[in-house]
Amino acid sequence: MNKTELVEVVSSKAEITKAEALKAVNATFEAINEGLVADGKVVLVGFGTFEIRTRTERTGRNPRTGEQIKINATRTPAFKPGKDMKEKVSKKAKK
């Protein structure tokens, strides 16, 4: 499912126009991004948790030359599914 399809589903389920659904979806994404920047974590009970994870600096290899290179530390967003989501996905997989 892509963003356009998500907007269509939200529009249908919430019985609102696609323009209103697009505003709602965009507002949700923006709020999650703002929450991650401000607090480093957004918890949606039953759905999952968005959080910032920090990767430490490490040594890697250039695959072309084999030379060792330094990979800088980074902060990256991550998602951990909640219990309800895990159960729904695992039930779907069993069928």
pLDDT 10s digit of each residue in the chain, 95 long? 999 999 999 999 999 999 999 999 999 999 999 999 999 999 999 899 999 999 999 999 999 999 999 999 999 999 999 999 998 888 876 65
Whole-angstrom CA distances from 79 to 15, 23, 68, 71, 82 are: 28, 23, 31, 23, 9
46: left (phi over 0), alpha (psi -120 to 50) or beta: left
Q: What is the pLDDT of residue 93?
A: 66
Residue type, 86: K
pLDDT digits (tens, 9 = 90+) for 84-93: 999 888 887 6
